[in-house]
Structure 1
Amino acid sequence: MLAILTLIAAQAPPQNECRHDTSAMMALDERGFDQTMSGGWRTLADAGCDAQAADLIAEWRSNHPANPRTAGLLQWHEGQLRANAGQTARAIMLFEAARKPAEEDAGFGWNLYVDGSVAFLRRDLVGLDTARAKLAALPRPAGYAPIGADGKPRAYAWPMNLNILDGFVACWNRPYKQAYACAKPATKTLPPA
């Protein structure tokens, strides 16, 4: 038992790495808090403080009015961090809440990604395989041509998030955080002209 506790303690980040300025975090706008790859909640996650980062997202969400267009993404990120921290039931609840209405998701497969992620957390390999197969068969929506910040066509992988579900299948017997890391980088292509 002592060996297990020692191993757990060795994997946990030192408490001082999980400290953050809550007031400064709460003052960030949504882009600064959620979409800056080297700032916001990601500073805690990058330090291995997944549970603390999830709590910070929950607090930020409770202190800011929900943007209907992006609220699901914040729930999703909190859910991922809770899954990383082994808080499976809470992660599933947040993933389910991040689903998009059918008309908004039509042709894009976000909800199939949710299905596969939830199936992984529930240890439902058949459900994961089913969601993965449906996502893999999803054709690229006609006319979908994302534009980058520079105004030029942006390369993207299709179907989106298939590489993540592939990682879950490849690393089925591992915890969420490790299985998520099994995803191979998605091959990005420019949309057809």
Structure 2
Amino acid sequence: MSRPPGRKQDSHKISRELFVLTYGALVAQLCKDYEKDEDVNSCLDKMGYGIGVRLIDDFLAHSDVKRCRSYSETADMIAQVAFKMYLGVTPSVSCSSAAGNEFSLILDKNPLVDFVEELPAERASLCYCNLLCGVIRGALEMVHLAAEVTFLQDRLKGDAVTEIGITFLRKAEDKKAKKK
């Protein structure tokens, strides 16, 4: 569908509250559909991965960021630019390995749980925000960085903060054609 000449394209942004409520309804429905928390966690991760694969294009187009030269720069970019851009929060970043390939994103406030007090006792192993892990993993994969992304701490489970662990597994080699 084309737009009339001279008319600006509208930005399709939804309010954060609507997004958080919709996300909560999605998780509630998944909990009804699946008996095991592991199945819900897996489904959220897969959904997040699909979002991350597509979201990276928007991120690169709108953030005006340069190519990261290290895992540390990449972790900082995720925290300081991506989280701020899409969730309105800036987690702190800490490196948790001597090799420099393991990082933690520590959120003092997680906007996805604004309307959630605590997890029900029968859902103790539910990772409510596992969608975020999938988003990060999918986006990183699209820029040729394989990573394992997991929740290490969760306020919904009584921890002091929400902590997402990112372990960069390897840097995919660029397939460059050699000149002969």
TM bucket normalised to smaller: under 0.3
Q: Give the TM-score taking structure 2 as reference length.
A: 0.27
- Larger RCO (CA under 8 A, 6+ residues apart): 2
Q: Which structure dedicates a bigger proportion of its chain to helix? A: 1
State the TM-score, normalizing by the size of structure 1.
Answer: 0.26
